Structure formats: structure tokens, C-alpha cells
Amino acid sequence: MVSATEECVGPMKLTQEPIQDGLSQGLSALILWLGIRPCAHQIYPYVTKEVSEGYQLVDLQVLLVFAKEDSQSDAFWWACDRAGFRCNIARTPETAVECFLEKHHEIIVIDGRHSRYFEPEAVCRLIRATKPSENTVILAVLPQKPADQEEPSVLPLLCAGFSRRFVENSSVSACYNELIQIEHGEVRCQFKLRACNSAFTALEHCQEAVEITSEDHIIQYVNPAFERMMGYQKGELIGKELTELPKSDKNRADLLDTINTCIKKGKEWTGIYYARKKSGDSLQQHVRITPVIGQGGKIRHFVAIKRPHIDNNNQVHKINKEEKCSGEHSQSECHSLRHRDRRKDSIDARSISSRSSDAPSLQNRRYSSVARIHSMTIEAPITKVINIINAAQESSPVTVAEALDRVLEILRTTELYSPQLASKEDDPHTNDLVGGLMSDGLRRLSGNEYVFCKNMSQSQLAIPVTLSDVPPPIAEMLNDEDCWEFNILELEAATHKRPLTYLGLKIFTSFGVCEFLSCSEATLRSWLQLMEASYHSSNSYHNSTHAADVLHATAYFLRKERVKSSLDQLDEVAALIAATVHDVDHPGRTNSFLCNAGSELAILYNDTAVLESHHAALAFQLTVRDSKSNIFKNIDRNQFRTLRQAIIDMVLATEMTRHFEHVSKFVNSINKPMAAIEETSTSSVNSDCDGQANIRNSPENRLLIKRMLIKCADVANPCRPLELCIEWAGRISEEYFAQTDEEKRQGLPVVMPVFDRNTCSVPKSQISFMDYFITDMFDAWDAFASLPGLMEHLSENYNYWKGLDEMKCKSLRPPPAS
């Protein structure tokens, strides 16, 4: 048939993947966690259609060891052919070993019927003495015994290394069935063992610490990384219960119960855990514990992957704080750094270059804001990514690997720009404030509907036909509208709560809006009246005075040289219109409230940017409804579409859930590149200006500038003169108090519990708002637009609230002196 060196090759076979369970299943998952993607033919040679686009062709190899060719050897040869297995035939023990070492067969069939040619046990021992044979199935072919003769024991065969026996049968079907049974039984088990070996090899070399325990939390395996991290040797841990190991006292008392409750339900637990090393030191770890389902569908093992938890922000901040406050830098810079520490170590700082102390004070302030841009990062995952990479660049390879692992973990999240706040117990004001402003509400809990009504009533002060008809006292006030200290509250009183129409006429005229839109001043006046009437005068904060205040700030920013040179007239007109309408028909309640109450607007806008979407949509609905107030009626379609899109984008930018995203993009796309050009360029001044202009004037960055402009204008109250700041703080607090009152009346979730009029500390709420929303944003905006006066007000106001808080005063003003 064939010689000892010839090979019979049959057709290749389609097979199915072996079923894994227990520890091998968990370890196979670990291979994927560790980033190792094994080739199918190396670890899992049986692949189904479900795990690949096509079937994987796999050939299983069989070695027949027969001294003589006969009907039995032929039957196994033809059985291999039918099964699609590759087949070799060896005539002597020596050639058998030689062939096996070359081919590494999965199945070996040894003829044990004729001991005069060779001893089958001896041949089996020779093969078992080789390393590759540990995963090979060896079959002994035995002669048939007479019916009256006792069945011999299989123990000698097993002791010699045989896996099973086959009683002589020259039927091809019988041989085929035997081989197929071996393939689906022992061979698949051997492949699972190979997979385990591969997994253990990966575990031994991976950098993350891995601990595998039984369902009863008895340690079964730890890898070398675990030994290095914890200081134990493997022999000191294997077989011990986790409860026998010393515990750190830095964990919450109920943390272990929480973890056990989670993993016993078959759920993965991920979090921070303090472990005690052999040395007695506590080590903060990032831990992921995964239950492994095994036999009977029950949890049979727990796989824990651990690594030291590195708070890169705090570490880098600590290092740079020491650098900046060393003797190399000026006292003013250290004071500036302390001022920024109020954001609870949320700033990762690079070294700030010192400036000459004899420079003009405003220039020093300008330099300070520009310098802080280098170190500014909002406490959000996407900016942590940048900090981790920067910190890892100068670290050892192990640290680099750990940092990159952290980067990947952060990038897997969806809320890349959401801030990570302290626990509610640490700072309830901030958590309630930030949560209330940046959340679209909880799941609706009841059928309660909150439908607000527009208050269209206004006082009957005559509206001027033109600017020349404005009453003299109001006209005199409006002469100062280009100053930041302009008092909008005095205008509110003088106009009987209609400041938006008067201020709008003055500002829109000065920016040439009517000329740009080709509309009459009468149309503009009607439009301003319509918008102002659509604000609710009953709201303590979100009324037309707030809209006028935002319009004033917008105009002030648009007149700043760098802003003006970055935008065209369409951008300016869009910004002024957006500021005017950005809170139109505001009900005096937050998005979260509307979502929880199941309001019609929340349903209409799918609980997403509910109010901002409504403001933008209603503004256009009201505008185009009547030709007398349609300021867009004379511009062409393309210009209208461009203007409309710009207005909508700016109004939606005032929604707080994307606050940190907008600020981060502005800092990284505009502030930092411009500061880099300013500091590193060695060419001419004109070249510097050209480079910065190219950055500012790109369409993408102009969009970021407009968003930043209206965001700062919308929340500029903390940067106003102190008396205005105090008044606005009282108004917004009253509006939040009213919301909390109504939530309690309607049985709705209380979005901001600290805003209870009986217990709230207004100074604390203002401090939190400045810390988490205002300071960084206005540092970035000041670095771009140069706003020294605003930054002075911000610092003064912050100190005012801080002083009240230190006095334990909860009101807007200190108690009168006794």
C-alpha cells in the first residue's frame, strides 16, 4: 500500500469548535482581555461558522504503527481517508518515533496483536518519552479473545501510556467510528489543555496582576505580576481563602459585601479597592472581578485583574505645584496657583514661565491668563487622556504601558467630557448644582404633567418709533452700554421690565443689523417687542432682563479686537440674535425638572436639550409668523440658512450638558496653539499675527469662538461688579428655591436638594458654580479676548462669597454689625 516514509493525504475536514467550560473558559477570556488574539490553528483548531466568516479547514493527523500491512491497517487507512485525516504509516518503533517528532500527530494507532515484531508497550513508552506526546491520544489495537476467555485488564496499557484500546476489527466503518469518537472526545480535550497552556503563558508574562479563585474564594492561581505587586510568593497564597489575608482599613466598611453581592449574581464588578501588601502597606488598586460560569451553569471561579490605581491628575498637580511655588517663581504666581487650587486639584499644570514683575499690571494679568491656558484641563476623561500621555512620556516603559492601558479604558467610555466630581458627602452643593444643570433628568416617575404658560403681560410704557424717540433718562443710560459696568438692573427699572427692546434697538443699530438684514427699524422694533413679550416677567431670573444682560455681554465681547478680527458680520448678527432669543419662553425650571415632570416639551424633544431646542425653535416660529416682525424676510435663502444654522448652534451651546466639551475644545484648538505661537516663534511679529489669525479664522474654530462667546455671556454674572453679582445670585437662587418647592408639592424627584430655601447656603452655591463652571472658562476666554476688568471682578466676587462662607453666613449679605 504505502512505505514507511510515504504519506496518505485525504480531503480536509470541516469541524466544530470544542465547548469550553470552567477554568479554561475563564482563561480563554483572559487571553482576549490581555490583547492576545490567538490564531485559530494554534489554540482552537476547531472553528465554526459563527466565529469566522467562513469555515476553517482543519486537518487532523494520524500515525499508524503496523509492522505488516494487513486488513486491519488497511481499514484504519481507509477510515482516515473517509474522515479527512492525514495519515502516516510506520513499520518500526524507530521510524514511528522519528515520524512523530516530525509531524506531531494528534492520534497514534499501535498494533498490539503481534508481539514478535515489537512490544506495543515499549513503542508507547518511547513515544510518551517525547515532549510533544503529552497532548497525543495513543490507541492500542488488541487481538480478539475467544468468548470463553476472561477479559484482560487495561491497567498495563494505561500504565504504559496508552489512552484507550481497540479490539481487532477490520471493518472500515468500525475504525472510522473509533477515530471520530477519539476526535470528538480526547482530542478536543487535549486542545483545551493546549489553550490553557497558552493562556497561562500569557498570564505569566502580562503586566496586570491576575488572581483566580474558586467559587468559595480559595486562591487557585496568581501570576508573577501579582507576586511583584503584593510582595507575596505564589506558594504563600495558593490554597488560602481570601478572608485569611490581611485587609486594608482604608476601604468602606460595606465594600466587600457590595462586591460579593455583585459577583455572586454573576455580574462583573469594577472599581477601586485598597489591598494590603505583605509589607503591611495599603495599595490602591483598580480591580475588575469577573465570575466564570462552569459545570452545571454555576459560578465555578472568579478572575480578578488588578493594577495600581494612579491618579495622574493629583500626582502631576502635586509635582507642578511644588515646582511653581519654588523660589524660582514670583510670589504673585504662587498666589495665582493657590487661587486655582479652589477647583480641588482639578488642574494638571505644566510649569508656567515667569514674567517680569515690573511689567504693567494689566499685562501681567494678561500673561497670567495666557500661561494658565497651558495648564488648563477640565476635570473630564478626554483631558485626562492628554495628561496621562504627557506624564508617561518621561516615565519608565512599565509606567508607559500602564498609562496607555488607562488611556484605552478612558476612551471606551461615552461621557468623555463629563466632569468627575467628589462624593456627594464631600461637596453636596457642587454635586447638586452640577448634576441639576448637566442632567436631562431622571426617568419619569409618575403621570404628572408640567405645562407652563407664557406670561405675555407687559407694562404700557410707550415703545419708541425710532432711537431718537427714546425718553431722555433711558437714552442717557444707554450711552454707557458699551461699558462692562453698565447697570442692566437700572435699565430694567427705568423701562418697567422691558430693557430688551430698548437695549436691543441701541446695540442692533450700532452693529448695522438692519442694514445687513435689509429690514426696517420698525420691523426690528416689532421683532424685539415680540421676543421680549415671550419672556416670562414672573421668573425671578430667566426673564427679559437676563436676555438683555446676555445681549449686552455679547456686544461687549464682539467689540474686543481679537474677537472682532475673527468673525465676519454674519457671525456678529447671528450672535446678537442668538443672545436675544436664547432663553425665550423659559418657564423658570430646569431641563431635569421638565423631564421628571413629563412635560410636553420634554416629550417633544426626547428629554434632550429640551429648553434650548424650544428656545431656538420658538424664536423662528414667532419671527416668521408675521411679516411685520419678520426680520429675515428680505434676505436670500442661502444667507438665511447660514444665519439660521449659526443662531441655532449658539443657542444650543448654552445647554450645560456639553459645557466641558465646548470649553475643552476651545482651549485645545485655539488657546494652546495660539499661545504656542506667541511663546515659541522666533520670526517677525507680523508672522506671529498671521499664524494666530489662521488659527482663529478657520471655519471650525470660528464656530468654537461663537459658542464660547455666548456661553460666557450667558453666565457672566460672577464677572459683573459686585452689587450686580449679588443681585443676580439672589435671583437665580430664588428660581431654584421655587423649583424645589414645586418638586416637593408634586412628589417629583428633587433635582437639587441643597436649594432648599430653609437650609441653602447661597455663598456655597456661588463658590461651587465659580469653581466648576466659571473660573476655567473665563480664564480661557480672557486669554483669547483680553478681559482684565472681568477677571478682577471675578476674583473680587469670589473672595466676597468665600468671606461669607467662612463667617458661616448663608445669605446674600453679611449680617448687620451689632
- The binding site for Zn(2+) comprises 546, 582-583, 714
Q: Grid coordinates in use for 463? A: 415703545
Active-site choice (317, 329, 374, 542):
542
Q: Do strands 61-65 and 107-111 pair parallel, antiparallel, or not at all (unpaired)? A: parallel
Residue list, annotated binding site for AMP: 542-546, 583, 714, 766
Sheet architecture: strand order including 282-293: 219-222, 209-214, 299-308, 282-293, 269-276
Question: Three-class SS of residue 337?
Answer: helix
Which residue, 500, 522, 483, is CA-closest to 577? 500
Q: DSSP label at 140?
A: E
Q: Do 479 and 486 meet the contact criterion of CB atoms below 8 Å apart?
A: no
**Phi (first) and psi of residue 408, to 5 degrees:** -60, -40
Is residue 335 flagged as an active site residue? no
Contacts of 383 (CB under 8 A, 6+ apart): 348, 377, 664
Query: Cα separation of 494 and 618, whole Å?
Result: 28
Question: Three-class SS of residue 318?
Answer: helix
Query: Cα separation of 10 and 78, whole Å?
Result: 9
Q: Grid coordinates in use for 401? A: 504601558
Which residue, 127, 75, 70, 73, is CA-closest to 98? 127
Q: Do 47 and 40 meet the contact criterion of CB atoms below 8 Å apart?
A: yes
The C-alpha angle with vertex 586 and arms to 580 and 587, in degrees rounded to 5, equals 165
Query: Cα separation of 792 and 556, whole Å?
Result: 16
The helix (run of H) or strand (run of E) holding residue 72 is helix 71-83
Residue list, annotated binding site: 542-546, 582-583, 714, 766
Q: Do 342 and 312 meet the contact criterion of CB atoms below 8 Å apart?
A: no
Please give the C-alpha separations between residue 649 and each of 575, 642, 654, 814, in angstroms, as whole numbers.
10, 11, 9, 41
Position 80: which residue type?
A: C
Q: Grid coordinates in use for 719? A: 464677572
DSSP per residue, 236-268: HHTT-BGGGS-B-TTS-TTHHHHHHHHHHTT--
Helices (H), 377-462: 381-392, 397-411, 428-438
DSSP per residue, 676-742: HHHHH--S-HHHHHHHHHHHHTSHHHHHHHHHHHHHHHHT-GGGS-HHHHHHHHHHHHHHHHHHHHH
Query: Cα separation of 26 and 708, whole Å?
Result: 49
The helix (run of H) or strand (run of E) holding residue 89 is strand 86-90
Q: Which residue has the cell 519654588?
A: 326
Query: Cα separation of 622 and 534, whole Å?
Result: 9
Number of residues that make up the chain: 818
Query: Cα separation of 737 and 742, whole Å?
Result: 9
DSSP per residue, 348-401: --PPPPP--TTS-HHHHHHHHHHHHHHH---SSHHHHHHHHHHHHTTS-HHHHH
- Kindly list the catalytic residues: 542
